[in-house]
Amino acid sequence: MLEHVTEADGVLLDIVYATDRVFTGRAVYTRPVALLLPEAKALLALAVGMAAALGLRLRIFDAYRPIEAQWALWNAATDKRFVSDPRKGGIHPRGAAVDLTLVDADGAELDMGCGFDDFTARAAHGCLEISIEAQRNRAILLGIMTAAGWDHYRLEWWHYQLFDCRRYPPLSASAVPEGPM
């Protein structure tokens, strides 16, 4: 069963895919909630603690997404490297991935060089075409998440997932607390 991650867990939520700010132009699910497997929630808690020690917080853009949402993203994405194939179950539909950034003590997002879901080469870890400050901020996020036990995706600075995440099955609406999203 998926579990809610809320502000009570020390994170901030900006669930972009439940808004019209998603790159498809309209929400791909309706409830602005962050849901993760218990294993993933536990690793996120470690990351929250490490960020807090630096005076920072994590802001979540997306966590679990229903497979129907994965299809909507897949169908809209022109570059399929940036959306996992729903025919293979995707990654987020397993509750094993989270998209997020770092926020400072004033609630301002740290400069990451490009925005969430900027599907260009600038989104890749190791991109040297962004400011030094942004490179440093990405390295802080990567360091925190890696030390907390997360795997990263080389092409997206915002995406983290459990190692060997395909051992977890894609989850249907029946795994969602309070029913479908």
Binding span for Zn ion by CB under 5 A among 2-10, 41-49, 132-140, 157-165: 157-165
Active site residue 39: no
What one-character-per-residue DSSP string does 30-63 give? S---EEE-HHHHHHHHHHHHHHHHTT-EEEEEE-
Q: Cα separations (Å) of 132 from 111, 123, 167, 178?
A: 10, 14, 37, 44
Nearer to Zn ion, 131 or 146 (CB): 146
User: Does the footprint of Zn ion cover residue 117 (CB under 5 A)?
Assistant: no
**Which is nearer to Zn ion, 101 or 135 (by Cβ)?**
101
Site for Zn ion in 82-111 (CB under 5 A): 99
Least distance from Zn ion to the Cβ atom of residue 105, Å = 26
Nearer to Zn ion, 90 or 113 (CB): 90
Residue 159: how many CB atoms within 10 A of its CB? 26
Out of 109, 133, 156, 178, pick the active-site residue: 156
- Check residue 115 and report its DSSP letter: -
Number of residues forming the site for Zn ion (CB under 5 A): 2
Closest to Zn ion by CB, 57 or 65: 65
Q: Could you tell me the smallest distance in angstroms from the CB atom of residue 26 to Zn ion?
A: 19
Q: What character string, x for contact with Zn ion (CB under 5 A) and - otherwise, covers 36-55?
A: --------------------
Secondary structure class of 74 (helix, strand, coil): helix
Pick from 41, 65, 94, 159 the residue near Zn ion by CB under 5 A.
159
State the distance between the two ends of the chain, measured CA to CA, in whole angstroms: 14
CB of 174 to Zn ion, least distance (A): 23
CB burial of 80-98 (b: ≥16 within 10 Å; e: otherwise) equals eebbbebeebbbbbbbbbb
Contacts of 65 (CB under 8 A, 6+ apart): 17, 28, 29, 73, 90, 92, 93, 181
- Residues annotated as catalytic are 156
Residues that bind Zn ion (CB under 5 A): 99, 159
